[in-house]
Every structure is written in C-alpha cells, then in structure tokens.
C-alpha cells in the first residue's frame, strides 16, 4: 500500500494510506530522535511507522489521530522493531 506523508506544521504530519484513509500524526522532536536513522527525514520515519502498523492491521483500524509515542501502548514491540538503528 502506498503511504504518503506531508508535514502539516509544527509536530503534525498528515499521513494518507492510498485513497483509503487519512491520519494526523504528532511526532515531537523526542519521538523523532528515537525513530530516525541518520540521514532519514521525518517523513521517511513516519512511512516506517505506518508500514509497521499496516503489517498488523488494516488502514481503517489505525487511529485517525495519534502521537508516535502512543504506538507502543498498543504494540509493545514498536520501538525495538521500528526505532532508529544506531551503530
């Protein structure tokens, strides 16, 4: 599924999953530090977040508004699987 991420201003991003759903995601700087690999944009990182979510549920089941940090509440493995890979 095609995932498109657009910075909406501040900590907010609009994420579209094909033409099926649209989501507003809050990604504060603290979450981006945990999420992004060197050279990755916030948009790249949020695409990875959505790939992780889409592997577990259909787009219609993903919350329409959430913060990146909230994902771990539903999927405890989130940060270990999606978090930045530092060497």
CA distance 15 to 3: 7
Please report, for the chain, the start and end positions of each structural domain, with discontinuous segments joined by +. 3-82
The answer to whether 17 and 59 have CB atoms below 8 angstroms apart is: yes
Map residue 65 onto helix, strand or coil.
strand
How many beta carbons lie within 10 A of that of residue 65, not counting itself? 10
CA distance 85 to 82: 8
User: 35-78, pLDDT tens digit by residue?
Assistant: 999 999 999 999 999 999 999 999 999 999 999 999 999 999 99
User: 71-81, pLDDT tens digit by residue?
Assistant: 999 999 999 99
How many beta carbons lie within 10 A of that of residue 42, not counting itself? 19
């Amino acid at each position: 599924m095609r995932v498109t991420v657009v910075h909406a201003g501040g900590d907010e991003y609009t994420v579209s999953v094909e033409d099926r759903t649209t989501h507003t995601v809050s990604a504060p700087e603290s979450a981006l530090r945990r999420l992004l690999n060197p050279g990755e944009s916030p948009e790249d990182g949020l695409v990875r977040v959505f790939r992780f979510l889409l592997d577990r549920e259909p787009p219609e089941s993903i919350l329409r508004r959430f913060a990146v940090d909230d994902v771990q509440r539903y999927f405890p493995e989130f940060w270990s699987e999606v978090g930045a890979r530092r060497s």
